[in-house]
Structure 1
Amino acid sequence: MKLSAPIFQLKRRAKLMAKAGNLPLHEALDTIAREEGFARWSLLSARIATGSLSETILSRLETGDLLLMAGRPGHGKTLLGLRLLLDAARTGRRAVLFTLEFTEPQARSHLRQLEKPPLGAADQVEVVTSEAISADTIIAHLSDAAPGTVAVIDYLQILDQQRSKPTLADQVAALSAYAQSTGLIVGFISQIDRAFDPDAKRLPDIGDIRLPNLVDLGLFTKACFLHNGEAQFQNVA
């Protein structure tokens, strides 16, 4: 979706609106966002932030990497994961989405909405949807994948919700070992803990990852944390 003006001009418009109407700035920003077709400002700014961010991240990922993409709901982590796959497909890499959240038509619709010319990358992204998704099924699906293949898992915290699946710690360890041995890149969309306080720090960090079950976060090699239109990409290990 194309904005009616650059984001800095939209911010200026919101400040003038807040001053003229004696409104809190966040209300004015949300009003501007709705005029642009977004439910709130955080979604608009996340959409803009993830545009070139995904290309930057893809250029800095190495074979064998495990990537965390983490943020609160509505702050751009899923958009980032989908854009990363589109960028990978656009450069000729195999790109696979494993989702426990979307149906395939939903995932396809989101991918096509995010696609930019030249078109075609959205149809090249493989979409795997099943309640049975686990490290074992992911590894089996990627058994013939070439080094540099990018896989994104949506999302970390529900990989082991079924009791029949191995623990989350075991699944992450298995995927880490497989990525390193085959040269794949595996990204995990992740929630952050509700205790994260944006008034105390601007962005979440590795200590804010929500972990209903124990996981060795040292297995992740890179991470991107998002909040309120800002993002920070960093090495973990």
Structure 2
Amino acid sequence: MHLSAPIYRLKRNARDLARQQGIPLHRALDRVASEQGYQSWSHLASQASQARPAAAVLSRLVPGDLILIGARPGQGKTLLGLELAARAGALGRTGFFFTLDYHERDVRQRLSELGLPPSADAGAVQVDTSDDISADHVIRRLASAGTPALAVIDYLQLLDQKRSTPDLATQIGALRRHVKETGAICAIISQIDRSFDLSPRKMPGRSDIRLPNPLDLAAFDRICFLNEGRLRMEAAQA
């Protein structure tokens, strides 16, 4: 059963409903869950947790992986990245979330609304919103962590905007060498070209990844595509 919106948005809808109708939050949550076809909010949360794409991705990650996560806006690529960082502890790792697109307050808010499983620790995620984010910046942060890292970078195209930083291919090459040498795991979120919206295909592919400058996608170990609640994960060098 597919939700009509991500769980964090449904929880926000329930809070609005509780305020508007002056009812307890738990009743509002149950009402929203009923509208989605579930017996209660706890039933919805339990089922949604089992179906989360992050669980499928985490189960396939190995030390040294460099992966790309691609989707159109609103399809859950940022939420997937946030959850991967929040669940890094389950792999004995420190989670990092590097973003050039959000303020830390916004990231923390979205983490708090994810409805994460008990094993996740959103508060332990190291959030970095520095304007200096680049491959070198990420590598320095990971090297200073003192523990194995699972890093998420939001997002690929923004790494390529500053003239003062190396070109995109050089940065991705540096990140690949770092994760291979240290056993870190790094996931990079990517935009998908808007032309995909006019395509009859159910899932984007490599040709849909928006690359303003040349980049050999074989630098990645795996590519994850998201669309309409579905996940496809493939080897980048296939």
- Give the alignment's TM-score, normalised by structure 2: 0.76
Distance in 1 between residues matched to 2:110 and 2:91, nearest whole Å:
19
User: What is residue 168 of structure 2 aligned with on the other side?
Assistant: 168
Q: Which residue of the partner structure matches residue 4 of structure 1?
A: 33
Tell me by how many angstroms 1:72 deviates. 0.5
CA gap 1:54/1:120 in 2 versus in 1, 3 angstroms? closer
State the distance in 2 between where 1:156 and 1:166 align: 13
Q: How many residues align?
A: 200
Equivalent in the alignment of 2:64: 64
1:192 equivalent in structure 2: 192
After the TM superposition, which residues 58-207 of structure 1 pair with which residues of structure 2 at under 5 Å, given as runs?
Answer: 58-116=58-116, 118=118, 121-145=121-145, 148-197=148-197, 199-207=199-207
1:208 counterpart residue number: 208
Contact 1:150 1:185 in 2 (8 A): yes
What is the RMSD computed on CA atoms of the aligned residues?
Answer: 2.4
Q: How far 1:103 sits from its partner (Å)?
A: 0.9
The equivalent residue for 1:36 is: none
**How big is each residue's C-alpha offset from its partner over 1:91-136, in whole Å with a ceiling of 9 and x where there is no partner?**
5421000110111111111111114353871110000111110011
Question: How far apart, CA to CA, are the structure 2 residues paired with 1:198 and 1:157?
Answer: 22
Q: Unpaired segments of 5 or more residues in structure 2?
A: 1-10, 12-28, 39-47
Give percent identity, aligned residues only.
Answer: 43
> How far off is 1:159 after superposition?
0.6
**What 5-or-longer segments of structure 1 have no aligned partner?**
11-47
Equivalent pair of 1:69/1:77 in contact (CA under 8 Å):
yes
Instruction: Report if the CA contact (8 A) 2:85-2:96 is conserved.
Output: yes
Kindly state the Cα deviation for residue 5 of structure 1 after the two structures are TM-superposed.
3.7
| 1:62 partner letter | V
Distance 1:6 1:180 in 2: 47
- The TM-score, its normalising length taken from structure 1, stands at 0.77
Cα distance change of structure 1 residues 223 and 209 upon mapping to structure 2, 3 Å threshold: same
What's the offset of the Cα at 1:89? Answer: 2.9
Amino acid at match of 2:89: A
Task: Describe the superposition over 1:131-150 as per-residue Cα deviations: whole angstroms up to 9, x where unpaired.
Answer: 11001111111113467521
Provide the rounded CA distance (Å) in 2 between the counterparts of 1:75 and 1:102: 17
